[in-house]
Amino acid sequence: MKKVEDYIRSIPDFPEKGIIFRDVTSILQNKDGLKLAIDEMINLLKDVDFDIIVGAESRGFIFGVPIAYTLGKSFVPVRKKGKLPMATVQKEYDLEYGKAIIEIHKDAIKKGERVVIVDDLIATGGTVEATINLVEQLGGIVVKNIFLIELCGLHGRDKLKKYDVASVVKYEGE
């Protein structure tokens, strides 16, 4: 039986020399790989009591929505600045080369709601840390963060020490 990592395409020297890019599109393009990836992420949520799944643009949507649908939960998108139509709260965070701003609707999460954050990958942890900040700013309680892939060498988990973090596939390098 295949494992999720069997469906992940590794591309050397992309986007620059020395980097191995872990491509999830090879999972999405394969019905068995996609089903396995979603099922394995759902398995990370066994015995987790929560109300809402939050996913960051854009691959957090790809994996978060089918998980929310399967588990009978709602889904809340976190988007790049200027993409949401109603009143938002926003958070600026550092990228490898620059800064970015993400937003969430002000009415997306009610005080005390229990939230799981879903994304395809954790690398440096900047996006998920900013997403956590938005959820908590609205009064939500982050009970778990799940990822399909974790790049352990970039130490993103270190930024999330006070949170429950789980990933399906771990790569020791960057």
Which residues lie below 8 Å from residue 113, measured CB to CB, with a gap of 6+? 51, 52, 139, 140, 141
> Distance (Å, rounded) from C-alpha 169 to C-alpha 39?
13
Q: Which residues are catalytic?
A: 59, 96
Q: List own/partner pairs for 13-22 with CB under 8 A and 24 or more apart.
A: 19/174, 20/171, 20/173, 20/174, 22/121, 22/149, 22/151, 22/171
